[in-house]
Amino acid sequence: MEGFLYYLVYFVLRALALLPLRVLYVISGLIYLLAFHILGYRKQVVYGNLRNSFPEKSAGEIDLIARRFYRHLCDLTVEIIYLAGISRKEIGRRVRYNNPQVIEKYFSEGRHVAAIMGHYGNWEWLCGFPVLTGYRCISVYRQLKSNIFERLMLRLRTRFGANLVPMKMAIRKIYEFDKKGIPTLNAFMADQAPPREKAYWVGFLNQDTPVYPGVEILARKMDMAVVYFKMNKVRRGYYEFDFIPLFDNARETTGHQITHAHVRMLEKQIKEKPEYWLWSHRRWKVKRHPRDVQYVAPNVPAGTKR
């Protein structure tokens, strides 16, 4: 039955992906009316996250960001559907990479790269990047609870040659390529909420926030270069990336330099255009206890316990 449901859902996705994107955006508008005005999809989560992250903003400003976010989220939904049928040529036209020489330099040196980004813009369309680089691209991900959606997302994300690897298997996979002398570009979504026992706590958007320290642990172990992948939404259906080098040699860093650097980069990006981050995610459902790992967080508001 599970196999039947998988192929049924995939068939529906492929059929919808045959529609022009402009038609899918009409569907996006209908989804927006349903999600925001009728069902109120995760409204409490979205508005709560926004108020806590931007305590200086008025209720009207928070409402405007929320409405823009929901419109973007609905566009993102149909853009992921469109990914099921998009061609290499079209995804290359819709996603521009402004300074590929940053990545090409590390590739020419045979260096592994840790590519760090957040759930910002349309991160799913990064799957077209392997078409434009000599790197073996690895996307490190958290497995989904639904086997059907796990298979669907794996199929969509690997269409253009990316290797998807569960987080717990990442080191082993990168070592396999390293032994063969194959440099890898390893993409990490660094804003996912980890289990408490694996968390390192930082100040992020005015709140105590748990993050995975595993990115910097892996980057140091393999002496990777660390690059922040900054995705910008140019307009509906068009995105661009700027590659921002954070550290040329991860082994030369100390403490949690890498974690603090990429957290600050993402925070700055969100503050510039907050409507494009995934506010419907229950990012702060885990609260810090006094026994949790201490940290130095320059942006934690006065009066917050450390």
Residue 165 has, within 13 A of its CA and on its CB side, a CA count of: 23
Q: What does residue 99 show for φ and ψ, rounded to 5 degrees?
A: -135, 65
Q: What does residue 160 show for φ and ψ, rounded to 5 degrees?
A: -110, 20
The whole-model pTM stands at 0.91
Predicted local confidence at residue 298, as pLDDT:
39
- Mean pLDDT for the stretch of residues 210-232: 94
The residues spanned by each domain of the chain are 1-85, 96-278
Residue 122 to residues 80, 94, 222, 257: CA-CA distances in angstroms? 8, 11, 28, 27
Residue 302 to residues 41, 103, 207, 297, 306: CA-CA distances in angstroms? 33, 39, 11, 11, 10
Per-residue confidence band for 114, with pLDDT thresholds at 50, 70 and 90: very high
pLDDT at 306 over 50: no
The answer to whether the CB of 122 falls within 8 A of the CB of 92 is: no
pLDDT tens figures, 46-93: 999 999 999 999 999 999 999 999 999 999 999 999 999 999 999 999
CA distance linking residue 283 with residue 296, whole number of Å: 20
Question: What are the E-state strand segments in the chain?
Answer: 95-97, 113-117, 136-141, 163-166, 184-189, 200-204, 207-211, 225-235, 238-247
Per-residue confidence band for 185, with pLDDT thresholds at 50, 70 and 90: very high
Per-residue confidence band for 294, with pLDDT thresholds at 50, 70 and 90: low
pLDDT at 303 over 50: no
CA distance linking residue 281 with residue 55, whole number of Å: 19
pLDDT at 302 over 60: no
pLDDT at 300 over 90: no
Per-residue confidence band for 304, with pLDDT thresholds at 50, 70 and 90: very low
CA distance linking residue 121 with residue 239, whole number of Å: 8
Burial class (CB in 10 A: 0-12, 13-18, 19+), 242: middle
Predicted local confidence at residue 295, as pLDDT:
52
